[in-house]
Chains A and B, each alone.
Chain A
Amino acid sequence: MTPLLPGTAEGAVLKLPHLSLWGGVDPFTGRLTDPALPHCGTSVKGRVLMIAEPVGSSSSSAVLLELLHAGNAPAAIVLGRADAIVALGVLVAREMGWATIPIVVMPPSEQEKIADGSRLKVE
């Protein structure tokens, strides 16, 4: 686990093979919206969101900022590789004086060892 943005959090793991926050998460409710992915309809709120491959839109920062502002954000995000677009949403929340969450990088090969739904502490 390599911290991208430091912090401590704990929650139940919500695993996804890939995800674009924009198009994949409803910014107003925090629910996963892509029927092609596991857990569609589940809220990311309070979960340790584990994404093997972060993909897609540059609007993902904005979706994460909105989740943070409205209190619907995951407890932490674990990414298969560093992704500046996801991290930026948290950085802007910090600049605006709103709540933030930790983001860590964990290679997909290590993510495989962690069971979906298990509790994970990120620090």
Chain B
Amino acid sequence: IASAHIDGCLYHGDSGTLFAERLVSDGGKVVVPTTLNVGALDLLHAGRVRLAPERAAMARRMMDAYLRLGCRSTWTCAPYQAGHRPALGQHVAWGESNAVAFCNSVLGARTERYGDFLDICAALSARAPETGLHLDDNRRPSLLVDCSALDRRLVDDDAFWPVLGAWLGETAAGRIVAFTGLPKQIDEDRLKAMGAAGASTGAIGLFHIEGVTPEKFERPRDVLKLDGAMLHVARDRLSTTRAKLGDRVDAIAVGSPHFSYEEFRRLLVHLDGRKPAIPIYVCTGRHTLAAVERAGLDTRGLTIVADTCIVVTPILPSDTGLLMTNSGKFAHYTRPNTGYEVLYGSLADCAETAVAGRLVREEAMWR
């Protein structure tokens, strides 16, 4: 393998720290370029994470162990936004489900869905098992999903892509799907959002989009025509509770996968200088944050979370509440991991809701 991305640096208890320290004490060093996924701490914003002191100390020991193994301090679930972009056809070993889906689908590099621990073993040995998505046979699509009948306004909206991903994960877990009838130009942030949603709802590790994703494939004979009603169901499932327009919302969270520079810019355009009435948690990587700061973007109205995110470590101020997100992945993990109920909406919906402190959401397209 040519590179690795390590998911195993997130603290889930002392066992993972002991494992990483064992690799260090046995003299381990990575032998390929290796990036690190989020840890359980925000190393740039002291006090942002509410982890108990003894757990924070073990989380820090774990992060330090991975650095001592020679990994880069990227601390992001979007390594592809921090310059880690393997070439088409290149074999790599990546962990973190959204990163795997992006790597296989959008970059066309080849990785199996590596779990914690196996990812670092691959980085230490430059080797991975010759199986799964490394092999041609397992990358061929067996189902063609035809999107040509979908309303173009829907497809043009950023809220469509996580819904498409969630639908994919719920419908086609275990299968490789190719899409046709989608636009020929799709923004990378949309593909990232789609993959992340599919990976969290159904372990999707690879999808193809005709004319967009780089890997060549033969059209499968099995065809499914996607219609709006199928997506409406998937969209409704991304909210865990029903709320009426105007209901009080406690917080907004965006940036799963980690917010890109372009997404920062878009959010600030939506806010247009207005001050949010409720916190907007923006989770991002330190590379993106450095670019945002260099460009002088005014982020004073945002609560920035770097190196980690709101569903992997305690950041939200309460154990219950109502949170709005534009992320299919946050929509999936927020309630079990934080106790907050979730409302799903577009980035524009999130911005308008933040300013109002009450639910504002575009519903017309989804009915």
Q: Which residues of chain A have a CB within 8 Å of any CB of chain B?
A: 20, 22-24, 27-28, 33-36, 53-63, 65-66, 68-70, 81, 84-85, 88-89, 92-93, 96, 98
Contacts and interface: CB of A to CB of B under 8 A. Distances in A.
Given A59-B12, A66-B16, A88 B117 contact: yes
Given A88-B117, A88-B118, A57 B336 contact: no
B30 to A, nearest CB: 18
17 contacts: A23-B311, A27-B12, A34-B336, A36-B240, A55-B169, A55-B202, A55-B203, A56-B199, A57-B200, A59-B7, A61-B117, A65-B12, A65-B15, A68-B15, A69-B15, A85-B113, A85-B115
Contacts of B117: 61-62, 65, 88-89, 92
Contacts of A62: 8, 10, 12-13, 15-16, 115-117
Contact of B12 (A53, A55, A66): A66
Interface in B198-231: 199-203
A33 B337 contact: yes
B114 interface: yes
A27 B95 CA distance: 19
B332 interface: yes
B201 A55 contact: yes
Nearest to B203: A55
A59 B96 CA distance: 7
Contacts of A23: 311, 332-333, 336-337
B12 A58 contact: no
A28 B13 CA distance: 7
- 7 A-B pairs with least C-beta separation: A66-B13, A85-B115, A69-B15, A61-B115, A62-B116, A62-B12, A34-B336
A57 B196 CA distance: 10
Contacts of B348: none
A49 B334 CA distance: 24
Nearest to B204: A55
Contact of B116 (A34, A56, A59): A59
A69 B96 CA distance: 23
Contacts of A57: 97, 200
Nearest to A85: B115
B95 to A, nearest CB: 5
B174 interface: yes
A35 B174 CA distance: 24
